[in-house]
Amino acid sequence: MSPLYPDASPDIAELRAWLRKLVEGRFADWPEQMNRHGKFTPEMVQVFAEQGLLGVRIGEQYGGAGMSLRQYCLIQEELARASPILALLTSSTSGLTPMAIERHGTQAQKDRYLRSLTDGRARSCFALTEPEAGSDAASLRTRAESVEGGWRLNGIKHFITLADDCQLMMVMASTDRSKGSRGGITALLVDVPSEGLAVTRVDRTIGTPAWTLGEITFSDVFVPAGNVVGEIGKGFAIAMESLDEGRLNVASLCLGAADSLLARAAAYAKQRRTFGAPLADRQAIQWMLADSATEIAAARGLIYSALDAMEAGRPLGASASMAKLFASEMAFRVADRAVQIHGAMGVVENSPVGAMFRDLRLFRIGEGASEVQRMVIARSVLADT
């Protein structure tokens, strides 16, 4: 870790050291296992549960660790040193949907769902994106009509992470088309399986096979009235609150992956010899390493600055978008340089740096594409001038 950014406290430093030992020891071969099995294995889920890495932000009364956003981001940063996809196992039990329940759910919802997320029985997904409403989340068309005892849900969601491997979905649905995002969208908890719910297509990404994107079709799915998260019509605000923190999650795992790639590239450059000298003696290679180290330090500064602001009571807003934008694009550049330094070893089928290169490309799109982050940042700049 760069000495420019020492850990904020002894507790954070201790957490990092413990995680680093796990990642470099017990989890070292997990990326290869995920490639071979194409999914998170039951053993992985069990080990994560035993180590307290599921539901880390959920309260202790529900079996979680009650950690702060800073601690959660650190966990994601360190897990991503093995594989950024590995961090999805924690985020599916500690991220968007779980935290919406923790903050806005009823006591009955917390009692029913949270403990199953912390003990490994369940994982969640966040169903927002649609065929005609991706980055433009306010234009979603999935509709929930009020019926006796609850809601009747119809529509399609797609490109939903882990839709085919979850037991709980938080679905954003229109409950009043006339109000749009300003009071017309409601967050609903949908159990899997439910009658009328089908995962109608599963797409593999260019990255690790364990990261799947599913299309979900809702055909007259009944959702009980007690499964509304927060207030009716307040779903868009809940989604945006969740996405702000989700962007710091993505930024953090990009940071961890990039830091790991830099270490791999530097080690290989010192070991690999060409024309009678190590690659590390070549100025071209040194400049790649220098640029990567500088950009990693800059990304760390943006992420930690956003966390500092949040802990001081200031809203995340544009600072989360800045961190996500810069970190996701930075990590892909670092991955590209790492592949280049490894040469042919970087592009063979089982290359760890090649796998990270493919995985990291996804994060320039997921949790809001780079172009959307620039829109958020620009709006903030214009509003302040």
| Domain limits, the chain | 10-118, 124-233, 237-383
Q: May I ask the CATH class of domain 124-233?
A: mainly beta
What is the pLDDT confidence band of residue 2, given thresholds at 50, 70 and 90? very low
Decide if 10-118 and 237-383 have a common fold: no
pLDDT digits (tens, 9 = 90+) for 159-211: 999 999 999 999 999 999 888 878 899 999 999 999 999 999 999 999 999 99
Q: How far apart are CA 93 and CA 169, in angstroms?
A: 11
Q: 10 Å Cβ neighbour count for 182?
A: 11
Residue 41 vs residues 32, 122, 221, 367: alpha-carbon distances, Å = 12, 13, 30, 25
pLDDT digits (tens, 9 = 90+) for 9-55: 888 999 999 999 999 999 999 999 998 888 899 999 999 999 999 99
pLDDT, position 315 = 85
| 367 counts as catalytic | yes
* Catalytically annotated residue among 14, 295, 367, 371: 367
- The pLDDT mean for the chain works out to 93
pLDDT digits (tens, 9 = 90+) for 299-352: 999 999 999 999 999 988 899 999 999 999 999 999 999 999 999 999 998 899
Long-range contacts (CB closer than 8 Å, 24 or more residues apart) made by 204-209: 205/358, 205/362, 206/358, 206/361, 206/362, 207/85, 207/355, 207/358, 207/359, 207/361, 207/362, 208/31, 208/34, 208/35, 208/83, 208/85, 208/355, 208/358, 208/359, 209/34, 209/35, 209/37, 209/38, 209/39
pLDDT, position 6 = 62
SS3 325: helix
Q: Which fold has domain 237-383?
A: Butyryl-CoA Dehydrogenase, subunit A; domain 3 (1.20.140)
Over residues 134-160, the mean pLDDT reads 90
CATH number corresponding to 10-118: 1.10.540.10
pTM for this structure?
Answer: 0.94
Q: How far apart are CA 125 and CA 141, in angstroms?
A: 19
